[in-house]
Every structure is written in structure tokens, then in C-alpha cells.
Chains A and B, each alone.
Chain A
Amino acid sequence: MTMTLTPPETRERTAPSLRTRRLPKAAVGALHGLAVLLAVAWIVGPADARAGLLAVVLAGIVPLWSRIVEGRRKAKDRLVTLLVTTAFGIALIPLGSIVWTVLEKGVPVLSREFFTYSMRNVVGEGGGIHHAITGTLLITLGATVISVPIGLFTAIYVVEYGDGTRLAGALRFLVDVMTGIPSIVAGLFAYALFVVIFGDGVRMGIGGAVALSVLMVPVVVRSCEEMLKLVPTELREASYALGVPQWRTIVKVVLPTALAGIVTGVTLAIARVIGETAPLLVIAGATDSVNFNLFDGRMATLPVFTYTSIIQPGVPPEPAIARAWGAALVLLLIVMLLNLIARLVSHVFSPAGER
């Protein structure tokens, strides 16, 4: 946690130990280490299920032992810590496996050609995803430009202006309902909307951005709302007390305080939609060539490219499937970059003293 938190923690750890008995650190560490080692051995391969069972038993000894030596409360604490850490370990297995699969299959594909070529006139080996990278960046940018202002202002309305009112409650509820719109329905909706405006068979990048916005707005609202609610009311009241109008309080006090959370929320929302396949397939279409114009013609995107390459690899299938994994990896890298930028922003912006 933070630096300020450490002193009370250490005090708790050292000072009472003069009177109460504590488990020897080395033994606990050894037991935990051995359990982790066995579990890893079981999952990675060399050992069978018995190793996993043994790991559970070994890890389970600590809280029992603690119950005898340190008492009930401390034992419970150790048990929960163990469970929480195990949950983390369990979550790491599939996530690690997915990352590993993407890296293993994606890295060999990356090359200069892969980034600078499109798929125009490419059959079989070679070619690249330049067109898909362009499309994904532009469409996601479009979606972000549409959804972040709408989402943020709605959250501000719900928390700052309308809190407690019936309208805000209804809005919250509607946003929740909106999170449940299946991605394919969002795509069909955007398509229907654009057909009304531009006529049948319309395909344009901005349509994809609209479809993604339908999916993105509720995530932005929901996370911004949570973050704004967590800003202590004392801060707002202090600002009002100084005669600062409400809107300046929001801009100068509330938003900066909640910024780290808002930025995480927005990044998450982007991450949520940047990998969407179904709606883009419907409204943005697919093409082999680069298209820079959001408002005219089909645009290729990384998820659609990945999907079509896996589903319809052609003959022989290997190069197309390899390109699909490469595209998935690039998508991850793009999100990573966005994430880094977001962290930078929130780091510089957050008021001093915040974590």
C-alpha cells in the first residue's frame, strides 16, 4: 500500500510480538514456497494431481498452526490472505496461458512487412495488417471521441447535479440496461441507423465507431460514476465554502481527484470495445486495402481481420492463421500503449498526496 501505511503495520507486527507468540517466519516462508513450487509443477506438467493435493495440504498447515500458536483472529487473517493469494494464482493460470498462446503464435509473424503491408493482392504467405491497424485506430478513436464526453457528462449529471433525483435514478438504471446490449445488436442497430440516413448497403468506419460507442458509453458512465461518488463530499463542501461555483468545483476539485479512476475506466472501456468483432463485421465491413476516411467506404479492423483469418483461412491455412495471431498480438500491444499513456496522464494529473 502506501508509505504512510507502513508504520502502523510494522508496529502491529513487531510491538505485540514482545508478548504474543508468533510463527517462525522462515518456516512459514518455506511451507508457502514449497506449496507454490508443487502447484506450479503440477500445472506446468512434470508432476501429477498428487502434487497439487500436497500443495493444498502444505499451504493449509499454516493457518491451522497459526490457530494453535497465534490464536483465532490471526489464524483467520492468515487463512484469508492465503485464499486471496490463491484466487490470484488461479486467475493467473488461464490469463497466463492466453498471453503465452498469443505471444508464442504471434511473435514469429511480426516483421517489417507485417506492419507496412496491407492484404491487397496478397494470397497465401506474406502481406500485413497495415490496413487493419489504421482502421482499428481510427474507429476506436472515433468511438472514444463520441463516448467519453457523453459518458463523463452523464456521470457528472448523475452524481453532481441530479444525485438523489428520480431522473438520475432512472438514468442509472437505463445505463445498466445498456450494458446488456449484445454487441451484435449494437452493430445491427448502427447499421439500421445508417441505412436510414445513407441508404442500403452502407459501410463506413464512422458507423463502426457509433456501434462501438453504444457498447462503450455505459462502461464509461458506470466507471466514471463510481469514481465520482468516491470523491469525499468534504472536498466539495470545502470548495463551496470558499465561494467556488459548482462547475468550477467539478472541474478543479472533483475531476482531478477522481482522475486516476476515470482514466482507468476510460481505458477499460476502450479495451472493452477495441476487440469487438461482430458489430464491425456488420457495419464497417472488411477490405484488403488501407482506408483513411472514416466517412467513406469499408474499413478493415484488427478483430475482424483476426476473425476472418481464423474462420476462412484459405489454402494452405497456416499463413492466414499465423497472421491472425499476429494481429491479436498487435491489438494487445496497442492497448498496452494506450494504457501506458493513460497511466502517464493520471500520474501527472492526480493531485499531490493521492495514491
Chain B
Amino acid sequence: MNRTSMRPWAATAAGAALLVSLAACGAANESDASGDESSAGSSLSGTLNGAGASSQQSAVNAWKQGFQTENPDVTVNYDAIGSGGGREQFISGGTSFAGSDAYLDDEELAAASERCGGGDVITVPVYVSPVAVVYNLDGVDDLRLSPETLGAIFAGDITTWNDEAIATDNPDADLPDVAITPVHRGDASGTTENFTAYLAAASDGAWSHGEVEEWPIKGGEAAQQTSGVIQAVSGGSGTIGYADASQVGDLDTVAVKVGSDYVEPSPEAAAKVLDAATPVAGRAETDLALQIDRGTDAEGVYPIVLVSYQIACQKYDDPAEAELVKEWLTYVAGPEGQQASADAAGSAPLTEDFAAKVQAAIDTIG
């Protein structure tokens, strides 16, 4: 028994060793990155941890790439756990910065100021992305809708595609007698919040459920995450939903009525919203929280946008951490970072004027 019983253990050990050795050496691309420090000439090093909105994740990935290439000794981590979780972890001191689809409310702001050692809280919008209204309807290619109609559709008051209200917006389209299946986000989400905020502001009462993070109506088709909405809309017939414009793919998007025009979602049209927005009153200068005018009728503005912030401290206990955060935000809000996220996530780059304001806030760190 004793003699023979060693063999299987040896086999197990060998097998386990095989598995581990498979993974034991570092990744091929990483040894390169840290190998040629001389070429980059950056003195920054360390790990920067952030957490928050999942909407920013694609953009953060692009920023990470750019930032880590410039500073090979830096590792940036971002957990896309959602805005609420991001804010909470930032306030509790678990992370150095937060990504959030909503700015801090007053209560959170007080707590965050305490976490920041009494200093001000930096809140900068870094990710502006149009939210597209997507639909899947055979034979109709360029649908145009007014906010009132849109509100009524999502509230469940307009139920067929050949409804008069839709026909008024689309005199040329051949609208079929098909039931409308509105698809909404089943999870709590900043996209839903921004979309309902638009409906509440612009639909003239057709949408009476206000601005909410979680879909307020029971019933109807619910889907998880942006990708789920896209799948549900493309999978059904007569479906309509809302999703981040960068993820739309082959689906048709609705041109939304603004003033007397119909505007298709585009990064340029979305960026104009920021210029028209007003800062939230009663906040520190470093807090660039914005009140977006969604009922606007200014020309060429696409009013359904998701504005996502990054939140950081003015003061950190560790000067190295402050330096990292400052450099990170400078990169993110700078032209390079904004271009990177525009390429990778289809976001709207900050306009020059606005970027200057953002930079001024970031410069106060340290």
C-alpha cells in the first residue's frame, strides 16, 4: 500500500505543477512594457485604484492604455461596479478616485470632504456620450420622433407603430400595423436616469414618471445592461429601446426633434450640450457638476446625453497618490485622453473652453 500510494500523489503534483507552470511566467506583453523604462522617461510609479460607473469602462480602458504607456511603472485599476458603489468606496477611502454618472449629492459631498481631509472635492465631467434611441422595424429606415411621442411610447400610451402621432413626425414613412415593444434597462443605470430626465424635461407631460435610475413602470420588456438592450431590440420585431450610441452597431437610430429640427445622435451634437449646461449652484469651484438643459431647442444639439464624472480629492495624505491622481486626470481630460476615448468608446471630446475649466480644477490637486 505504502509503496504504491506515492504514485498518484506524484501524478497529482505533476498535473498541478503543469497547470501552475503554464501560468507561472509573466505575460509576454508586460515584461516588454516595464523593460524599456529609459524610452518613456517618466518618474511616476505606483498603483492607482478607482471604481465606479460601468458606462465609463470602455473609455477608462483606452485611458489606461495611453496613461500606462506614458508611465510604464504605473498600474491603473478600475472596477466597473457601478456609480453608487464607486461613490461609496471613494467616500470610505477605499479608492483614489470614483467614476460616477451622477454628481455627489449634498450629504455625500459633506462625507467626501471629510474623506479628503477637509479639502474640496474635485468633480469633473470627463465622459460625454450620446444616448441613442434604437428601434427595429421592418421597412422603416429613418424614423423621426418628437419628445412627446417618445414619452408616450415609453409610457405605454402609444402601442402601435401606425399611430397618428408617429405618422405626423414621419409623413413619408410607410408605418406598419405592428405592436410596439419598448425595451428598457432592467438594472438601475445612469443611462436610464439620463433618458428619463430627458423625457421628463422635454416630453411636455407625456412622460409623467420623472427622472429615475430604475425603470418606474411595471411590465414591458426589460434587458440587462447596454448589450442586453441591443440584443433584445435586434432580436425582436417592432422593438424600440435606448442605449449608449457607441454600442448601437447595425441598428437604426431615431432622430429626435429639437426645436423644429430632427437631430441624429452624434458626438459633436452631444458635446454642444455641455456648452449649454449650467453649473449646479452652491458648489466649490473645483466641483464642475452640471445642470443639463434637456428641454433645449438650440439648433443642432442632441439633448439625450450621458455625462459621467470622475471624482477625486484636492488633498491626499500621500503626496505620491495626489501626484498620480493629478497626472491621471490631466491625461484623461486632456486632448489626448479625450481623443482616445472618442476612438475607443465613441464619446464626445470636451470642447476646448470646457477642457480649460476642467484643467483649472485639476490643477488645484496636491
- The stretch of B63-71, B253-261, B277-285 that contacts the partner chain: B63-71
Assess whether B57 is in contact with A201, with CB atoms less than 8 Å apart: no
- Per the bound structure, the CA–CA distance linking A344 and B13 in Å amounts to 12
- Per the bound structure, the CA–CA distance linking A124 and B65 in Å amounts to 11
Assess whether B33 is in contact with A121, with CB atoms less than 8 Å apart: yes
Assess whether B49 is in contact with A121, with CB atoms less than 8 Å apart: no
Given contacts A120-B33, A315-B58, contact A137 B20 (CB under 8 A): yes
- Per the bound structure, the CA–CA distance linking A313 and B20 in Å amounts to 29
Find chain B residues with CB under 8 A from A116 CB: 27-28
**1/0 contact trace for B1-36 toward A, CB 8 Å?**
100110110011001100110111011111001000
User: Residue A311 at the B interface, CB < 8 A?
Assistant: yes
- Find A287's partner among B11, B77, B246 (CB 8 Å cutoff): B77
User: Which residue of B is nearest A252, CB measured?
Assistant: B1
Given contacts A122-B65, A311-B225, A315-B344, contact A287 B75 (CB under 8 A): yes
- Per the bound structure, the CA–CA distance linking A252 and B1 in Å amounts to 10
CB distance from A203 to the nearest CB of B (A): 8
CB distance from B170 to the nearest CB of A (A): 29
**1/0 contact trace for A113-140 toward B, CB 8 Å?**
1011110111110011011011001000
- Per the bound structure, the CA–CA distance linking A303 and B5 in Å amounts to 36
- Interface size bracket, B side: 35 or more
Assess whether A312 is in contact with B58, with CB atoms less than 8 Å apart: yes
User: Residue B359 at the A interface, CB < 8 A?
Assistant: no
Given contacts A130-B23, A341-B15, contact A123 B61 (CB under 8 A): yes
- Per the bound structure, the CA–CA distance linking A259 and B93 in Å amounts to 48
Find chain B residues with CB under 8 A from A121 CB: 29, 33, 64-65, 68-69
Assess whether A133 is in contact with B22, with CB atoms less than 8 Å apart: yes
Q: Is the interface of B mostly helix, strand, loop or mixed?
A: helix
- Per the bound structure, the CA–CA distance linking A344 and B7 in Å amounts to 10
Find chain A residues with CB under 8 A from B80 CB: 286, 308, 312
In chain A, positions 259-297 with a C-beta closer than 8 Å to chain B are: 281-282, 285-290, 292, 297
29 CB-based A-B contacts, threshold 8 Å: A113-B28, A116-B27, A117-B27, A118-B30, A120-B33, A120-B75, A121-B33, A123-B344, A137-B23, A141-B20, A199-B93, A281-B79, A282-B81, A285-B77, A285-B79, A286-B77, A286-B80, A288-B64, A289-B75, A290-B26, A297-B47, A312-B54, A312-B57, A312-B225, A314-B61, A314-B345, A340-B15, A345-B11, A348-B4
Interface residues in chain B, defined as those with a beta carbon under 8 Å from any beta carbon in chain A = 1, 4-5, 7-8, 11-12, 15-16, 19-20, 22-24, 26-30, 33, 47, 49, 51, 54, 57-58, 61-62, 64-65, 68-69, 75, 77, 79-81, 89, 92-95, 225-227, 246-247, 249, 340, 343-346
